[in-house]
Amino acid sequence: MISEQEARLIGKQVFLNYSANGQVDGFKLIKDGQKLLGYDYTPTQEEVSSYGSNILDANKDKSITQEDFEALAIKYLCNKIDLKAQVTQVQQQEEPVKRYSKAVEQRLDVARRLFKKFDRDQSGVISRDEVPQLLEDTYRELGMNQKVSKQDIDDWMNLNDVNKDGQVTLQEYEQVILQSLKKAGISLD
């Protein structure tokens, strides 16, 4: 793990490398990032625009600044977020592979929307501190007037955090949904 000051310097340098006249070259940034992760990928204009507003604009002020890059560098470099898993997840979200029956795909679409809703910081993972709100909303939707306990949070994390790294990716979440559907006797084909 690196220090916050080191992360800020990296964020500043990335901003300077990918900006000219106050404009960030999102196309080049995404293409180079994909290349670093071992992908030969050319983003669409829609993906560049979405990436800019959903990822790069860290403080959501509709302007991508050096401070945004510094904040992202701190987030990713100081918190050890798995960038390769996150990139894979974003690609899968944008073009999900249709491998299941229509009924299963519909349930997975609901799961994906819920995941995105509760991933408040848009990091690509649901962290332990995002779970209480998820459970509160779930209890409310189920008509249960119940407070979320530490045990509820622990149980949810134990069930969904398949690789036990302290955070739940969309792939892990989908895996648990699919296992639940199988147990309920629903055919995945």
Which CATH code of 1.10.238, 3.40.1800, 3.30.70, 3.40.720 fits the domain covering 4-80?
1.10.238
Average pLDDT estimate for 75-80 = 72
pLDDT score of 93: 53
What is the domain partition of the chain in residue ranges? 4-80, 88-183
- Integer CA distances (angstroms), 58 to 51, 85, 127, 130, 148, in order: 11, 20, 18, 18, 29
Read off the tokens for 79. Answer: 């918190």
Q: Give pLDDT tens digits for 59-73.
A: 777 778 888 888 878
pLDDT at 39 over 60: yes
Q: What is the pTM of this model?
A: 0.47
Looking at per-residue pLDDT, the higher value among 86 and 59 belongs to 59
pLDDT score of 176: 83
Common-topology check for domains 4-80 and 88-183: yes
Query: Tokens 């299941």 label which residue?
Result: 100
pLDDT score of 154: 92
pLDDT score of 73: 80
Specify the DSSP class assigned to residue 130.
Answer: G
- Integer CA distances (angstroms), 131 to 13, 114, 122, 141, 161, in order: 34, 12, 14, 15, 12
Residues ≥6 apart with Cβ < 8 Å to 56:
24, 26, 29, 64, 68, 69, 72
Least confident of 30-44, 118-132, 170-184: 30-44
CATH assignment, 88-183: 1.10.238.10
Residues ≥6 apart with Cβ < 8 Å to 89:
124, 169, 170, 171
Average pLDDT estimate for 147-169 = 89
Q: Give pLDDT tens digits for 87-111.
A: 555 555 554 455 788 888 888 888 8
Query: Tokens 């560098």 label which residue?
Result: 73
